[in-house]
Structure 1
Amino acid sequence: MSRAPKIPSTSDSSFYVMASGQIESAIFSGNLDNLYCRYALSFGNDWGVIHGVDSGLSQIARKDAGSQDQSVTWNFPIDCTFKATNAFGWPRLAISVYGVDALGRDVVRGYGSLLLPTSPGSHVRYVHTYTPMSSSILQRFISWMSGTHPEFFDSKFVSQGEGREVTRVRNTGVVKVTVNVMTKGMESFGYNSGGGVAGSTLNMGGSGNFSTTGGFNMGGPATPALSERY
């Protein structure tokens, strides 16, 4: 059981953002199976992690045999608390999905990125994934013959803007992400973080409160019907 982060007093010249949730499930074209995902949080120089981890690797998931639902379910948890002095560089979640081919090799199935919601509360996001394409027909043929597909050297590349304008990609699937965001101290920096909804507070060890507009339900059905999800 993890210990709640210690939050300094509001006199500190920083604000805090806590993101918790899960990379829930995914569906890919081409009847792909045996998939796992890797995530990494990318953020600016004025941000720092004070609790939790900013990267992770999930288990391999398979489709439910005999079911019409073609999705794979990970329910892979995300839990990270940030301290920042500037909203510039707001964290982005970079997701990489890999699969195992017939020869037992790890093959990339899709990349995608998500800007963590800037308002407190529970959020559901759908991340469209893609893979890079070879730059020529010859390289595409060699890639098909060898079974080695193009990959990004850095998985966080998808969460950045530099160099992406010359990248050719193709769509591969969709990943469902559920995330709950809580903030503290943003109002003192002039940011409106709560909207017009009266929120509740979450006590973090008696040293400070996060503001939130709703709870995050980790229970309930993990895989709703396909038509509801994608």
Structure 2
Amino acid sequence: MYFELKDATADILAKSRRREDLCDLPLNLIASEKEAYDIQAIAQDALGFARKGYAIVGTSDASRRTLGLTTPVFSEIPAYALLEGVKEFRLPPETIGIQCEFMFTVRRAYPEERELINRKTASDAMLACRPAIGIIGRRTRRAFIGDYAAIADFGLHVATICGDPAPRIPLGEVAKIDVTTFLFKHSVFSGEASSVMGDPLNAVVWLAAELAAKGRQLNPNDVVATGSCTKILQVWAGQHLAADFGPLGQIECIFS
């Protein structure tokens, strides 16, 4: 894809995200992962917002099957789309569903120069973990299946709702957490933290390696939303969702 087409595609995606409307871009024509991430980066720049960290989608087998992905994908989180203290969220038209996920806060630059990227170093680089709700969706009227379309379309990220700061627990214990979700106070389904790449910290490791391969790194105070530890749940306006993350506490939201 020529740079001019990348630029035009990215500009349309950015306008669609900003206006919360849908477009008719043929994202199935994107030919490579590099093209897809190039388009995403140009679109993020076109949005013009500061970045607060990264959101990952497709870190569990169930979520990849639902979304038609073969691998996890990631995107930066614009400042306006990282929501704290929010108890109500208006669903935009492109919404696919929500994912209950873990959100790490980065303590230091990671990876540092020549630092090995693994669970041990990732744990050292993280400050804390808390629950989060990720809203995922598309900006195109037609649902294109595949990694490249998802990457270009902001990694399917719409918004990330942060739970309250959680009690400090050893990050090595996060993988043992069970998560139960409720709609209208009825238990819907449960999930295990270990469904996220075996351990949510592995999602951080994966992201750090992906960034390092592109000459980038996680920075202090970035957040990393790890992707769904349960099935992706379709929600509708008027529904109330609550998720119990055990020792990390609960998070809830009313969708409108």
- TM-score normalized with structure 1 length: 0.26
Greater strand percent: which structure? 1
